[in-house]
Structure 1
Amino acid sequence: MTEQPESRPRRMMEEKFPRGLWVRLIVYIAVGHLFAAFIYLLFQVGAK
């Protein structure tokens, strides 16, 4: 049997990540780096 024309666009949509997931991923990475920098700063100030 041949594939129906509807299945190809649906498959392409399923392979791509949703836009909201990318936004959350970038926000989590940015917040994680800011938190790590804050902890690093606390250790540097505490060492003096």
Structure 2
Amino acid sequence: MRPLQLSPETAIKLAEALNVPLEQLMHMPQHILVKKLMELEQQPKEES
């Protein structure tokens, strides 16, 4: 399986948003990444 084709900036932002290590994110299957992103969107957004 090939690593995801993401820019370094996008990869860092996604890793922080999903709270996963960068290495784990880069080797995550694409369908799992999409599922996690959808779950992240479903969560209520907290305003600070």
> TM-score, with normalisation over the residues of structure 2?
0.34
Q: Whose radius of gyration is greater, 1 or 2?
A: 1
Which one scores higher on RCO, CA 8 angstroms, separation ≥ 6?
A: 2
> TM-score, with normalisation over the residues of structure 1?
0.34
